[in-house]
Amino acid sequence: MKDIAILSSVRTAIGKGVKGTLKDVRPDTFGAVVVKEAILRAGINSSDVEDVVMGCAMPEAEQGMNVARTIAFLAGLPHSTSAVTVNRFCSSGLHAIADVAKAIHANQYQVGIGGGVESMSLVPMGGHKPSVHPYLMQTYPEAYTPMGITAENVAKKYDISRQAQDEFSVESHRRASLAIKNGWFDDEIVAFDAEVFGEDGIKKTVRFSKDEGPRADTTLAALEKLKTVFDKSGTVTAGNASQISDGAAAAVLMDAKAAKAAQYKIMGYFRGFVTAGVPPEMMGIGPVPAIRKLLGQMGLKIDEIGVFEINEAFAAQVVYSIRELGLDPAKVNPCGGAVALGHPLGCTGARQVATILREMKRRQEKFGVVSMCIGGGMGAAGLIELA
């Protein structure tokens, strides 16, 4: 891939699903917030953007009707800017950014926006009307294995203990809480005024600027008391799984040669993107083949990657990925992950890009990898290079 510059990458703070600040806010509303800010920070004109690609895992109801197009209009983009919504479940946000990078590489256009949005408060997991295919359910029911059960399957097959999962989760909260305390997320988060309904039913305006999931007081003792939620004899609990969340993120990408000619400031470069399939009932192992495939294509070794953002769908699958790939735990999700921050499905991959760019800069690391497991039995991985 030729040089694809990332001019800006921002996100909302992540709201707690169902009971957080964004529970009553339409996803296209806060999706427009990040798109508008991404354009502003990139220093480009709105008319320069030729396409907006937004990931969304449950594109229906308030986030249906090609939500990317709605977001583009709400963000003030002209009708000449096209838009499309893409869905690869948990990797939708990263996939959207990769689609923009590929389009620029193919000379379809010079400037585009990729991102993701999800309101798990307004549109539940599986949507409002889940409907499995009867024949597939009869002949290959593994295709519809519930996410929690896939985590239990990974934990059992690879001997990931309850203690290992809970310890990982405590560390995720510690890291995320430290990042908030130190202001490490401040630059990537776009603060905005959200209209919410109070307990009295009266609408009020709240300044939304801080992730609501991380708990600085989380302890191993507290997590050990939680009951398992998917298998009575299992190990996966609400405390070592990702949180239901709301949020959005967006990035402006541009042909690097044109960006340099126009003297735009470049944050980093999008270097590559791959996906890999795994057994659907073992969904959580997806990052392993995806990362191996990506590094193989890029000619890089594990120890050349300075930071990894591996989505914490479940602690079990990230613990497995770290062990299987031989990663230094200190390099993986140094600012915490979805166990603490939350996992707004379609947004997460784009959120990870915003986070990893800042962390790479803090550490002065050349390469970073964003990866995640994906419902249905897949993994995805993207390579970012610091400018």
Helix, coil or strand: residue 92: helix
Helix, coil or strand: residue 256: helix
What are φ and ψ of residue 98, in 5° steps? -65, -40
Catalytic residue of the set 56, 335, 347, 373: 373
Token duo for residue 214: 């991380």
Task: Assess whether 343 carries a catalytic annotation.
Answer: yes
Helix, coil or strand: residue 304: helix
Catalytic residue of the set 56, 90, 335, 347: 90
Token duo for residue 138: 């009869």
Catalytic residue of the set 56, 95, 335, 343: 343
For 209-347, strand residue ranges (E) read 245-255, 268-277, 307-310
Q: Is 143 exposed, middle or buried (0-12, 13-18, 19+ CB in 10 A)?
A: middle
Helix and strand numbers (H, E) in the chain are 12, 12
Residues 154, 316: contact at Cβ < 8 Å?
yes
Token duo for residue 310: 């591996």
CA proximity to 317, closest of 240, 248, 370, 256: 240
Task: Assess whether 133 carries a catalytic annotation.
Answer: no
Active site residues: 90, 343, 373
